Amino acid sequence: MKGILKKTALLLFNSLFLMGQATADTELVAGSAAPELNLKDQNFKTHKLADYKGQWLVIYFYPKDDTPGCTTEACQFRDDILQIRALNASILGISLDDVKSHEEFANKYSLPFPLLADTRGDVAQAYGALFKLGPIKFSRRHSFIIGPDGLIKKIYRDVDPEKHSQQIINDLKLLAQ
């Protein structure tokens, strides 16, 4: 019975998810200037896009701290962080969770990269990653590789949390050539 209820709840969630709206100010494409960000991380440090000028930047949006898919994705990036840094790249995770939630999540899983609190969803909206269904809103699982010049080089709108980190590494290797 539990299995049936769980499957029903998952189907209901997926149906609502598909009915919700992703919003963006403009449709981003590879070659677009990356939208600005000005957000605090789990240590209350402010991060701006300009802080990463001259290096590769991976921005990944995710729905919620400490949920199964989000934990898998974050831990994959954690485990691959040395490979990412070796490619002159930094990584930023962004969700609508607050700084305190990010602090707990980062500490629980020893995440060695900033998690940014986009509590109003402005940055997620600028990147087309904001999901809204009535009063419910969160980030969709979307990622972006931003080049040292501040332009978007690659956009991922369909992300598999288990394989995404390696996909990012492979694409960074190709883009950095």
The pLDDT of residue 27 is: 83
pLDDT tens-digit profile of 111-148?
Answer: 999 999 999 999 999 999 999 988 889 999 999 999 99
Residue 51 exposed, middle or buried by CB count within 10 Å (0-12, 13-18, 19+) = middle
Catalytic residue among 34, 39, 59, 70: 70
pLDDT, greater one: 24 or 166: 166
Q: How many degrees, rounded to 5, is the angle at CA 158 between CA 156 and CA 164? A: 70
Q: How many degrees, rounded to 5, is the angle at CA 97 between CA 38 and CA 30? A: 50
Burial 104-128 (b: 16+ CB within 10 A, else e): ebbeeeebebbbbbbeebbbbbbbb
Spatial distance between the Cα atoms of 168 and 60, rounded to a whole number of angstroms: 10
Segment 36-53 shows an average pLDDT of 97
101 — phi, psi (to 5°)?
-60, -45
70 is catalytic: yes
Count of C-beta atoms within a 10 Å radius of residue 47? 18
Contact 101, 111 (CB under 8 A): no
The pLDDT of residue 23 is: 43
Q: Under CATH, what is the fold of the domain 21-175? A: Glutaredoxin (3.40.30)
Q: How confident is the model at residue 2 (pLDDT cuts 50, 70, 90)?
A: low
pTM for the complete prediction? Answer: 0.84
Ordered by start, the domain boundaries in the chain are: 21-175
